[in-house]
Structure 1
Amino acid sequence: MPVQRERGSLRVLTVNIHKGYSFFKRRFVLHELREAVRAVQSDVVFLQEVRGGGEPDERHPGVSQYEFLADSIWKDHAYGRNAVAPRDSYGNAVLSHFPIVKSRNHCLSGPRTMPQRGVLHCVVSHGALPALHLMCVHLGLLERDRQAQIAALREVIDSEVPPGAPLIVAGDFNDWRQRADARLARIGLSEVFRQTQGRHACSFPAAWPLLRLDRIYVRGVASVRPLPMPRHPWSRLSDHAPLAAEVRLGEAA
């Protein structure tokens, strides 16, 4: 059940789940991941590298990974497929306690970029407050591709999100050179950890985080607060550590 919070406040979590495998694919850990995600008690969950189709097997019979993780906890969910392989597909997903009134997956890659990268845009209803826009993103490994994908992401935001609407953009940016902030700041986005702590959170590799690859960006919100995440059990559940934050909607400060 959703946790009762102050009006206009919500908890968000983002994590690259590595298609349900631990680092180096040593173990299939989707069941453990589900328990860990539940324990955070987030209102909105941003997931990357989620299997969303293909032939069901004994590891998650009859349902996609995002449906398995949502279970009966998050009533609404959306999925954006970015990569297709034989008997398989994977992409980004959003799980939400609040009704998702609209969702669309936008491709951020050129036709020759493999694997394809995308952003899943969801609009959720949050009571009497303005509609909340959520974007779950996974950018490429190569600097040239990332710069083009950030430019495409900015175009999606400019065309799909009203200037005054609350917006959360979260996911795996693979931005180890930390160049995304300057370009996203031009459209009003600020990163939660850098805004409040002076630098991005280390998130990769999960067992001993050194690189600052994952982000939570916001625009049009009243306040943000990063949430500390335990090293265990997360260090053995994926190659990326999760990030979490409390976000209060309302007029931006």
Structure 2
Amino acid sequence: MTALVDGTGHPATTPPENAGSGRGRWRRGRLVAATAVLLALVMAAHRAVPNVTGNPGSLLETFLPWLGLSVPVLAVLAAVRRSATAAVAVLLPAVVWCSLFGGTLLDKRAPGRGDLTVVSHNVNDHNPDPLRTARQLAASKPELLALEELSDKTAPVYERALAGTYPYHFVRGTVGLWSTHPLRDAAPVDIMPWTRALRATLDTPKGPVAVYVAHLASVRVLPSTGFATRGRNEAALKLADAVRAEKLPRVVVVGDFNGTSDDRALRPVTSGLRSAQDAAGDGFGFSWPASFPLARIDQILVKGVAPVSAWTLPRTGSDHLPVAAALRL
């Protein structure tokens, strides 16, 4: 065998086989590539993830858009590894994410206010300044205002603060409706042992609209139980039954659902309604937590009316952002 020598007579170092070669670039980065493929499969088949103990399917769907942040991380790792295999594989989750959420990033808002502007807000029963919150909401000038998480202490504050702007209002339990148009036939909707939902008829210049405001049960993420959603899911089923029994053709359902429209457990409610944010919003419209919104758990859903635009309002003293929509009746 002939030994290679350098100019000094010493043995020359033989470069590793395929180092820097095209073949090496395809062999490196297999772990990054496998991770990218797995991420693409999870996003594409998220509805196949079962809601077994801990409800991993619902938890995944609640924060599904955020999986997209993994794509640039994997792309950087592919570049660091100088791996052609990983670079190609990273395209898969990028394409899947864009197919799922690319349209959400488009501004679908139409010009104009529509016939009815609706604002819904979980005002937080520990809100340090409910009077200021009431004034902020009134300043946005909706014709219909729905509030959730009222208390015996704060409800009178909102009633006094909003009385001059909204001559019609009903408060039942922890939820309330305020309107510039007449409201009638207000009645609680039985979704929980105490009143957290209300139905009323809104008499607009273009005819009656059935309005529901609801605050579904809270959820928790705990090591012992996982994503605990049983109470919320049961409340959603009862709300869905009430909406399905509604006789008026035009329906608006708003409130804090403690879940996103992607969560399969809320499908009994969302399947028969359109999300104003999905139909006419700009971006994801995340509403919670207000300090750094991660999910849209506050909803404006409609049937028989057309969303014109949807948006979130600036932060108040609550841990939620108010959500708003302009509707064409």
Q: Name the % identity.
A: 25
Q: Give CA deviations for 1:6-41 in whole Å, capped at 9, x if unaligned.
A: 8970111011111261xxxxxx21121122011100
**1:131 aligns to what SS in structure 2?**
strand
8 Å contact from structure 2 (residues 172, 195) kept in 1: no
> Is the alpha carbon distance of 1:68 and 1:20 closer, same or farther for their aligned partners in structure 2, counting shifts above 3 Å?
farther
Q: 1:150 to 1:34 in 2, by over 3 A?
A: same
1:153 aligns with 2:239: yes
Offset at 1:104?
0.3
1:137 aligns with 2:236: no
Matched, 1:222 2:328: no
Matched, 1:183 2:289: no
Greater fraction strand: 1
Match of 2:327 in 1: 247
Displacement after TM superposition at 1:123 (Å): 0.3
Deviation track 1:63-119 (CA, whole Å, cap 9, x = no partner) reads 7133123221000000111xxxxxxxxx0000000111210011202x5xxxx4531
Amino acid at match of 2:156: S
State the distance in 1 between where 2:255 and 2:284 align: 13
Q: Deviations over 1:122-168 (max 9, x none)?
A: 101112x2311111110012311111111101111123x22x52111
The counterpart of 1:33, out of the listed 133, 139, 143, is 133
RMSD: 2.4
Counterpart-to-counterpart distance in 2, 1:145 and 1:10: 32
**Pairs aligned (count):** 208
Distance 1:18 1:94 in 2: 16
The TM-score normalised by the length of structure 2 is 0.58
CA contact (8 A) 2:183 2:200 kept: yes
- Give the gaps of 5 or more residues in structure 1: 1-5, 22-27, 55-59, 82-90
- TM-score, with normalisation over the residues of structure 1? 0.74
Moved over 6 A (4+): none
